[in-house]
């Protein structure tokens, strides 16, 4: 049974060796997991990941291969909405409204929305479905999921209308894969507009011209000369939006990320969600436990770094302009304040947007980000990347 599991992991391009697979089998034989010889699927998942995966960057590949082999068994379960009974949030019907009906639904302002939610949490005692007032599913209430409201708080369920101004849910994002094999060299070619080469570090490369010259000057006695490798001296600070609407652009962003890592030796990267606030993170699995303060970025990296944002800038305007506007937590200061601090700290900056440029004019949040970025927003296309690199190299 497990031999096929091993081949499934190899097919998923995970660097799993026979030795590691034998270690897994030995651990099973020794009874490392399970009571009375019976192990749960969760226990096997964690044991297999521990013994077979050496790099956290491959966790997502492992998860997908594991899920495919065990036919979609849920491995990692969590109570993501402990404050509300799960039955209240379970979808039983799909709401369909005409454009006229949608236009007639009242849109609450931010303060009113938050205050009303607080009251509903205090008052509600049972499940509701298809209504326009209580926390529930399939209705036009601004609280719940699987319904429609032009501006609400999604609680549980899956997003779809992209109209939630806050999300009461603990979502799992995955890191972008920096080892993705590019299908085209165009991204790398565009990035090479941002180059400033220098020879730095230890002498590890043969200096052929100087070796010939010194050997000739030494009456033919071989005199080998070495020199440091030639590297792109440009320093890049890359901040990438992850999760939510960015899931639609994962493949293209991974291509860009892979190209950036291969082109720039001096690269620092971090993740954020929708808008930058008081912290960013390196690992999406531990984004709340291993945070990096945005102030630390400003203090640690000097003005020599070129700051590049990658994100679709698609969010509620409240996330940019309002304290506590983040969909995931109550931020003390609006995202606009943090963006302005970063732009002041790093004068050479640009924003790369994977959304088609034709839709930018219809997104209020994109217009706000463009204004904050002083119109330094470029599409994730060959021409867009060339324009951004040309700007950053000035």
Give the DSSP per-residue string, 26-83: HHHHTT-S-BTTB--HHHHHHHHHHHH---GGGHHHHHHHHHHHTTT---S---S-TT
pLDDT band, very low/low/confident/very high, at 234 (cuts 50, 70, 90): confident
Q: Would the pLDDT of 358 be above 60?
A: yes
Hey, is 121 helix, strand or coil?
A: helix
Pairwise CA distance, residues 173 & 128, whole Å: 30
334 Cα distance to chain centroid = 20
Residues 278 and 338 in one domain: yes
Supply the range of the domain harboring residue 59. 2-69
Is 298 contained in some domain?
yes
Q: Return the pLDDT at 263.
A: 81
pLDDT band, very low/low/confident/very high, at 72 (cuts 50, 70, 90): very low
Q: Return the pLDDT at 353.
A: 95
Q: Return the pLDDT at 379.
A: 93
State which H helix or E strand residue 154 sits in: strand 152-155
Residues 226 and 276 in one domain: no
Is 79 contained in some domain?
no
Q: Which two tokens stand for residue 126?
A: 């049972």
Q: Return the pLDDT at 184.
A: 42
Is 267 contained in some domain?
yes
Mean pLDDT of the chain: 78
Pick from 232, 230, 201: nearest CA to 306: 232
Residue with more model confidence, 193 or 386: 386
Is 177 contained in some domain?
no
Strand 279-281 and strand 291-293: pairing? antiparallel
Residues 47 and 19 in one domain: yes
Residues 296 and 338 in one domain: yes
Highest mean pLDDT, choosing among 42-46, 209-213, 261-265, 385-389:
385-389
Q: Is 230 exposed, middle or buried (0-12, 13-18, 19+ CB in 10 A)?
A: exposed
Residues 99 and 15 in one domain: no
Domain count, the chain: 4
Residues 209 and 245 in one domain: no
Residues 309 and 355 in one domain: yes
pTM of the model: 0.56
Residues 254 and 373 in one domain: yes
CB 27 within 8 A of CB 47: yes
Q: Return the pLDDT at 73.
A: 39
Q: Return the pLDDT at 286.
A: 76
pLDDT band, very low/low/confident/very high, at 75 (cuts 50, 70, 90): very low
Residues 211 and 150 in one domain: no
Model pLDDT for residues 151-177, shown as the tens digit of each residue: 666 665 555 555 555 555 555 566 666
Residues 203 and 294 in one domain: no
Is 316 contained in some domain?
yes
Q: Would the pLDDT of 47 be above 80?
A: yes
- Read off the CATH number of the domain in which 322 is found: 3.40.50
Model pLDDT for residues 257-315, shown as the tens digit of each residue: 888 888 888 889 999 999 999 999 998 887 778 899 999 999 999 998 999 999 999 99
Residues 225 and 315 in one domain: no
Q: Would the pLDDT of 19 be above 70?
A: yes
Residues 312 and 348 in one domain: yes
């Amino acid at each position: 049974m497990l031999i096929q599991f091993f081949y499934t992991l190899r097919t998923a391009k995970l660097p799993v060796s026979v030795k590691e697979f034998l270690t897994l089998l030995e651990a099973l034989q020794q009874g490392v997991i399970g009571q009375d010889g019976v192990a749960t699927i969760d226990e096997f998942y964690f044991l297999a990941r521990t013994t077979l995966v050496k790099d956290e960057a491959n966790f997502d590949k492992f998860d997908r291969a594991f899920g495919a082999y065990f036919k979609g068994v849920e491995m990692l379960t969590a109570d993501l909405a402990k404050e509300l009974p799960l039955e209240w949030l379970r979808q039983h019907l799909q709401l369909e409204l005409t454009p006229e009906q949608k236009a007639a639904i009242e849109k609450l302002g931010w303060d009113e929305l938050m205050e009303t939610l607080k009251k509903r949490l205090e008052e509600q005692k049972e499940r509701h479905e298809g209504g326009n007032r209580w926390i529930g599913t399939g209705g036009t209430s601004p609280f719940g999921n699987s319904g429609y409201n032009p501006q609400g708080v999604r609680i549980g369920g899956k997003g779809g209308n992209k109209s939630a101004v806050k999300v009461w849910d603990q979502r799992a994002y995955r890191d972008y894969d920096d080892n993705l094999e590019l299908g085209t060299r165009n991204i790398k070619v565009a990035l090479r507009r941002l180059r400033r080469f220098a020879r730095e570090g230890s002498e590890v490369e043969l200096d052929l011209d100087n070796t010939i010259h010194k050997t000739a000057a030494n009456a033919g006695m071989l005199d080998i000369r070495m020199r440091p490798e030639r590297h792109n001296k440009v320093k890049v600070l890359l901040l990438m939006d992850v999760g939510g609407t960015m899931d639609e652009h994962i493949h293209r962003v991974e291509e860009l990320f892979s190209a950036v890592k291969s082109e720039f030796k001096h690269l620092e990267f971090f993740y954020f969600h929708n808008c930058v606030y008081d912290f960013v993170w390196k690992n999406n699995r531990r984004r709340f436990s291993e945070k990096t303060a945005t102030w630390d970025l400003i203090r640690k990296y000097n003005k020599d770094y070129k700051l590049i944002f990658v994100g679709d800038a698609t969010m509620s305007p409240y996330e940019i302009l309002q304290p506590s506007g983040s969909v995931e937590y109550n931020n003390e200061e609006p995202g606009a304040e943090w963006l302005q601090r970063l732009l002041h700290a790093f004068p050479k900056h640009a924003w790369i947007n994977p959304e088609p440029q034709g839709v930018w004019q219809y997104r209020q949040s994109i217009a706000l980000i463009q204004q904050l970025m002083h119109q330094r927003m470029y599409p994730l296309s060959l021409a867009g990347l060339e324009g951004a690199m040309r700007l950053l190299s000035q």
